[in-house]
Each structure stands twice: as structure tokens, then as C-alpha cells.
Structure 1
Amino acid sequence: MRQLRRFVRLGLAGASIVSIGAQAQDRRIVTEPLPPTQICTTLPATGTGDDTGRLQAAIDRCPPGAAVRLVSSATGGRFVSRPLRMASGVTLWVDRGVVLAAVSDPAAYDRGGGTCGTIAAEGHGCRPFLSFTGTRGGGIVGQGAIDGQGGATMAGHAESWWQLARRAQRQGGQQNNPRLIEVDHARDIVFHGITLRNAANFHVALDAVAGATFWGIRIDTPADARNTDGIDPGASTDITIAHSFIRTGDDNIAIKAGKGATRYVSILDDHLYWGHGLSIGSETNAGVSDILVHDMTLDGSTAGLRIKSDASRGGLVTRVRYDGVCLRGNQRPVDFDTRYDATRTGEAIPVYRDIVLHDVAGGDGALVVHGHDADHRLQLTLDGVRFAPNARWSIAFAQLAAGPGGVSPTPPGTDLPPATGPMRDCTAAWLPFPESDLP
């Protein structure tokens, strides 16, 4: 069993985090998930077309604590399905070399209003491909892949899901595209080893989840595939995302708090590539707190470390610690903005405080730290933070402090001490996206 060995040193087993910053992490003791020990059904691929019926029947018959295992056969390793509902305590095990593909027919996902696969004023007309609703335990594991087929032409249409999303952007409407996976009012869900790719919309969206582990997963979607977020925890607590690789057409990870507070999140030893970066927001109105980001690379994402909200959906974001982060090729390595959409107004003022950057190294680009106004200043501590000399600070309504490691380049208009000692060595941290063995 592989454990996160840094837990004791960083307080992830209950001790306090060393140096500055408050305790900020998943409250569980998280270890690498083990393969299921009980398999209720093994389903071989048949290559005959629609596998929905036998897949759903196998999930429904499977007892809690057991797994439905999908395996290759002489016909290959491809399953094709319409939306599936996961049962409480049941794990879907997708074997190495197996692909579970979502159908590209909007009618299969439609919620009854006939809007899935169309552009409308609202964008909630589709069911997800896989749903965990009110479940406890179970999840998705294995070395295979789940493919949303976002780039495939929709049945009865002349464009793909992704093309529909781009057309909606040009026309000012909302695309009705299905999310790949939704976890809703669930507990103790595990994703381990699986590859998620080509979602038509978000890959994984969590809503009111208590306890979820993402360990060693890959999320892979083209950089121009609009609104294809990687993992979005919302209104959730005790979430760990560890040892994973994510590249998408939108936020690689986005922590949200629109319907409820999101707290106690650990993002550990992850690698992000193209996409919009590691985000908190834009919905923060219910509050985000106790977040730990440790040992992370952001390699080529548009933004790097990002907190975004505005007065129409803002709230308190506090006790967030970024510790041991390497950034390169980012337009905005740091992007903390309380006016994400400057056209929005309201009384929900974003407040960011007790934010810590510790042992962070990056290149050039914009370093944005924008509080909302003189009464709602952004509070940020910089400790051992080093960017390229030509990186540009943009500071507004911010209260900045420095830890013993200092910061370079020094933010203008401050007397913060420059960084001391060598910059964090990121040489061994940069890893290529592991695509050589993708199914």
C-alpha cells in the first residue's frame, strides 16, 4: 500500500502544518486505494454496438463492496453505452486496454425538454454519462479509459459537442452538452488509475460530496475543447486529488462553492498541463477554506495558481496554502482576482485572506493580486517565492507579508525582503504527460 508519506510532516494526519499558514487539508488519512477484492460480474467486450442494457443490469445486481469488471475479448476492448447510473457501494473496474465510450446521441442524455445538443438560454438540458447520486462507497478504477467522445459528430447533427460549445460562445448562448461524470450528494467515492478523456463538458463534477479520493488518474482533452474542466469539487468536504495528470480545455481543477461551502481539500503531487490552471471559483459565495496544494507542477497552463470571483458570486476564501509548486509557460502564474468578470455587480463581495505561497518557483508572466477595495483587501503571505526577473506584479487593494524566505522580484511599492537562497529546483519535477500507454 502506497501512502502519502508527507502526511505527518505536513500535518495531514492531524498535526499542524509547519511554518506559516493554518491547517488546511483533507481530514482523512488517505492511502492508495487497493483493487476490489470481490468481483460480482466480469463483462467481456462484444463489439456489437450498444452495451447499455447489460452494463446497467450488472451494476444494479452487484452488491455493495463488489465490482463490475469490464475486460477485453477476441473482438477487442470497446464498450459503447448511453448514460449509466452507479449503485451505492459498487465499483466500475475498467481493465487495461478497455475503453468505455459514451454515445454521441443527444437524445440519449436529454432531461425531457428536448434541449440536449442545442444552444439555449440555460445549459442544463443533458444528463451526465455516469452518475453517482446519493451513493456511498464505490467508484471507478482500473487502467482503462472512459471516453466522452466530445469530438465525435452528434447523431442527427452536422457538428460535434465541442463545435456546438464554440458556436454557443460566438452566439452568446449556453451549450447543452453532457458532463462525463457527476457525483451528487454522495460519500466515500474513489477514482483510481482510470483515464478520463474527451468529455463533451466537465469531466468530473462533485456536488455535496463528503469524502472523495482521486489517485493516479489521467484526464486528457484537447486544449481547444471549451468548458471541459478536469475535476470540479463543489459544496464538498474532505477531497484528495493525488499523483494525477490533467490537461483540458478549461480549468484543470476548479474548487467551487456556489451551493455550499467547500473545505478540507488536499491537492498533492499532481501535474497539470494545458488548460486554465488550478482554480478556486468563480462561485465562492458559500465559502472556500482549508485547502492545501503541495508538490505540484503547472506546465503550460494559461493561468497557474488562480482564485477568481466577482461581486455577483463572491464569498470568503481563506486558509489556502500553496507549498512546493513549480510553474512554467504560464501567461499568469499567479492570478488572484476579485473582479473576474468586471461587468458583474452585486453585494457578494469576494474576500481572500490567509493565503500563503511557500517554496514556489516560476518563470515570467503576470503576477496578479487584486483585492476588491480598501475595505476588502486581499491578504497574502509570500515565503520563498521566486519568479523570473521580468515577471510583472499587478497589485491592487492587497495586504502583503513575507515569510523568512522572502520574494523575488519584490512587489512594487512594498518593503518585502527579496528571496534568499537558491530558487526551488524544478528540474526533476517536470514530467511529460504519460500518454504512451493510453488505451
Structure 2
Amino acid sequence: MASGRFISGPLTFKSGVTLWVDRDAVLAASTDPRVYDKDGHCGSIDDKGNGCRPFILFRGTQGGGIVGEGVIDGQGGETMVGHKETWWQLARRAQTEGGRQNVPRLIEVDNSRDITFYQITLHNSPNFHVALKGVEGATFWGIRIDTPADARNTDGIDPGASQDVTITHSFIRTGDDNVAIKAGSGTTSHISLIDNHFYWGHGLSIGSETVGGVSDILVQNLTLDGTTSGLRIKSDVSRGGLVRNVRYEHICLRDNRRPLDFDTHYTPNARGNQIPVYRNIILRDVVGTSGNLVLRGFDAAHPLGIMLDGVRFNMDAHWQVEFAQIQTGPEGTRPALPGKPLGTNVYVGCSQRWVPFPAKNKEQTFPAIPIKR
């Protein structure tokens, strides 16, 4: 796609097809709910919230993806055609009035293999930016996701029921989870996040749907700068399952309310018998400032199993520990945990790792060119 601003309705990709969005190009999603409509409800509030097709869909495909230094703009903050509010205003109204908003996701990848996203900027999605379901093999390299902090339900990248997903060298700020690893409809495993930077958002989450089981997650060299939660595992008895073999290494956090937020009671009034269990969770060289450090297992029979080695925060950070079996490594923790020695090694390496969110591409001034569907 050459330079210019192009407006399109929903696009469906075939196997092996790669969309190249050049540096000076913007592919913008239509703001007309009718072009996304599945059941007559897109652009409205109901009790289901599944009435819109996504802007871009990969379904049953192998190979291909989206590359280039251009922008895909979901236009979530623009007024919907035929309405008096934006997609985001509709979502916020659903929250206050009750019900679920029917708004499109920016990109869905369903039951596909070997999909690549490289250098592309994803901007202002009405809902989730990228949702994966039943995917085997996906790479996100050098991605920028940029959406306001108050844009409701605008997760960055959500791998669900998927395997072999890599997210690396990417920059994400959004209105919900920066990344959320889920397992609501199947097992999710072998997910790697390497050398990434997160800004505003709800942090790096596992859950809340973990009923299919989540395992073998590696997170290395991540900064979380101003996210509400930092490293987070969240679930409850309505959607719980086993989360195991999760390793966090060389993590820098600052200005987070809950830098560590491992909680098996995500929804206090949840009902069900799907007990969430977190085992073999390892934190090594995790450094932050202040806030609440939450380690909350389900009960004495289903404790949180965690190992902490070089987990260091300001002395005014506060541990909240319940039903947790905690091991500590040679570098210990700071502040000290009850019954554990105070870590003495004060790590200062994070000062060199904070980077500003990359500057946006220059403002586009080209006329909009509709794409035939």
C-alpha cells in the first residue's frame, strides 16, 4: 500500500497473503457499523456483545501477515456513521448502563498458522487490537500499539488457545491489558515476550480465562512504565484452571498500583467450581518502585506456588500474601517477606532501560481514498 490515507470496510485474508503498509500510508477502518454487522446489533448495546465482524480477519489461513512502517487506524474515537457517539463512547455507556457494547475488533486471527506482524503501527482500535484463537505460530516484531488510556476494552495483543507465539521489540500503550494471555477455549502454551516496552494500560496479564490451562510462558527484558498492574495473573472460580511454568526475568517496573498482582479471586462474587491454581511461577531480577505486591492463592489446598529471586522494590512497597508457598533465591526480596531474609543487593540497572514511546509517524494530510470491497 503506497502513501495516502485509505478507508476500508472489513477485510478477510487468504493463506499466504501479506499486506504491506508503507511508511506514509494509513489504512483506516470505516466508522459505519453496517459494514461490520453480523446480526443487526453492531453499533448498539445488548446482552451478548458479539454483533460485529472484525476489521481484519485471518481464518483458517497459513502464512502471510501484515508488515510495513505504516499505520492501521481503527478510528475508535471517531463518531460512528448514523450515530451521535464514537465506538469508545458506546463502550463506556455500556459499562455505566449495563449490557455489552457491539463494536469491532481491529484484527482477529482464528485457527491459523505462521502469521507475521512486522513494524506495523496499530492505532485507536474500537475494541481489542489483536485477538488470537486457535493459532499455531505467530510473530509480532517491532509492533507499535497506540491508543488512549481511557479507551475501554482496547487490549493490545491477546493470545488465546494458541501455541508458539512470540512478541518482541514492541511498544504498547492502550486502554486495557497491554497483553493478555488467555485459555478460555483451549490450552495456551509456549508464549515468549522478549525485549518489549509497555506504557499506560493494565499490564502484562495471564487470564482471566485460564480454564484450558496456561503453561510455558517466558517474559524477559520487559519495562512496564505507568501500567496500573504490572505482572499479573488473574482468574476465579468461574473461569479458573492451571497456570504453570511461568518465568519472568529482568523486569523493570515503575509507577504501578500493583506491580505484582497474582490473584485467584479476580471477581470477588464469582460462582463456579473451576478453581484457579498457579504453580511454578518464577520471578528473577524483577525491580520496581512502590505499590501493592499481591500473592494470593485460592485456599490452603490450592496455594500459589512461587519462587522469588532478586525481587526488589522500594521499602514502602507492601506485600499482600495469602495462601502462598514462597521460595526465595540467593538475591531474596526487598522489602523482606514474613519469615524471609531481606535481599541486600540493590539493583540499579533499570535507569538505562527506560525509553519514551516512539514518536508517531508524521501527520498524514492525504485525502481519504475508499477501497472497493
TM-score (norm 1): 0.82
Equivalent of residue 261 in structure 2, options 309, 315, 335: 335
**Paired position in structure 2 for 1:431:** 355
Give 1:438 shift: 5.4
Residues 1:140 and 2:140 aligned together: no
The aligned amino acid for 2:11 is L
**Paired position in structure 2 for 1:48:** none
Q: Secondary structure at the match of 1:178?
A: coil
**Paired position in structure 2 for 1:302:** 228
**Paired position in structure 2 for 1:252:** 178
Question: What is the rounded CA distance, in whole Å, between the counterparts of 1:315 and 1:375 in structure 2?
Answer: 15
Equivalent of residue 271 in structure 1, options 186, 189, 197: 197
Question: What is the rounded CA distance, in whole Å, between the counterparts of 1:151 and 1:328 in structure 2?
Answer: 28
Residues 1:168 and 2:99 aligned together: no
Residues 1:106 and 2:45 aligned together: no
Equivalent of residue 150 in structure 1, options 51, 69, 76: 76
Query: Does the aligned pair in 2 maintain the 1:401–1:416 contact within 8 Å?
Result: no
Could you give the per-residue CA deviations for residues 265-309 of structure 1, whole angstroms, max 9, x where no partner exists? 100000000000000000000000000000000000000000000
Give 1:420 shift: 3.0
The aligned amino acid for 1:71 is A
**Paired position in structure 1 for 2:22:** 95
Question: What is the rounded CA distance, in whole Å, between the counterparts of 1:270 and 1:149 in structure 2?
Answer: 25
**Paired position in structure 2 for 1:13:** none
The aligned amino acid for 1:83 is P
Question: What is the rounded CA distance, in whole Å, between the counterparts of 1:283 and 1:305 in structure 2?
Answer: 16
Could you give the per-residue CA deviations for residues 109-133 of structure 1, whole angstroms, max 9, x where no partner exists? 001x110000000011000000000
**Paired position in structure 2 for 1:11:** none
**Paired position in structure 2 for 1:85:** 12
Give 1:422 shift: 2.6
Give 1:424 shift: 4.4
Q: Secondary structure at the match of 1:390?
A: coil
Give 1:390 shift: 0.2
Could you give the per-residue CA deviations for residues 150-175 of structure 1, whole angstroms, max 9, x where no partner exists? 00000010000000000000011100
Question: What is the rounded CA distance, in whole Å, between the counterparts of 1:285 and 1:420 in structure 2?
Answer: 39
List gaps (5 residues or longer) in structure 2.
Answer: 364-373
Could you give the per-residue CA deviations for residues 186-218 of structure 1, whole angstroms, max 9, x where no partner exists? 000000000001000000000000000000000
Sort the Cα spacing of 1:331 and 1:438 in 2 relative to 1 into closer, same or farther, 3 A. farther
The aligned amino acid for 1:88 is S
TM-score (norm 2): 0.96
**Paired position in structure 1 for 2:371:** none
Write the mapping of 1:25-40 to structure 2, written as runs, cut at 5 A.
none
Could you give the per-residue CA deviations for residues 382-422 of structure 1, whole angstroms, max 9, x where no partner exists? 0011001000000010011101111110123xx22222323
Query: Does the aligned pair in 2 maintain the 1:393–1:411 contact within 8 Å?
Result: yes
Sort the Cα spacing of 1:438 and 1:298 in 2 relative to 1 into closer, same or farther, 3 A. farther
**Paired position in structure 1 for 2:367:** none
Write the mapping of 1:4-403 to structure 2, written as runs, cut at 5 A.
70-72=1-3, 77-111=4-38, 113-403=39-329
Could you give the per-residue CA deviations for residues 136-159 of structure 1, whole angstroms, max 9, x where no partner exists? 000000000000000000001000
Identity %: 64
Higher relative contact order (CA 8 A, sep 6+): 2
Equivalent of residue 416 in structure 1, options 312, 333, 340: 340
The aligned amino acid for 1:418 is L
The aligned amino acid for 2:123 is R
Tell me which stretches of 4 or more aligned residues in structure 1 moved more than 4 Å. Answer: none
Give 1:425 shift: 1.2
Which of structures 1 and 2 has the bigger CA Rg? 1
CA-based RMSD of the aligned residues comes to 0.8
Query: Does the aligned pair in 2 maintain the 1:129–1:181 contact within 8 Å?
Result: yes
Query: Does the aligned pair in 2 maintain the 1:384–1:420 contact within 8 Å?
Result: no
Q: Secondary structure at the match of 2:15?
A: coil
Query: Does the aligned pair in 2 maintain the 1:184–1:206 contact within 8 Å?
Result: yes
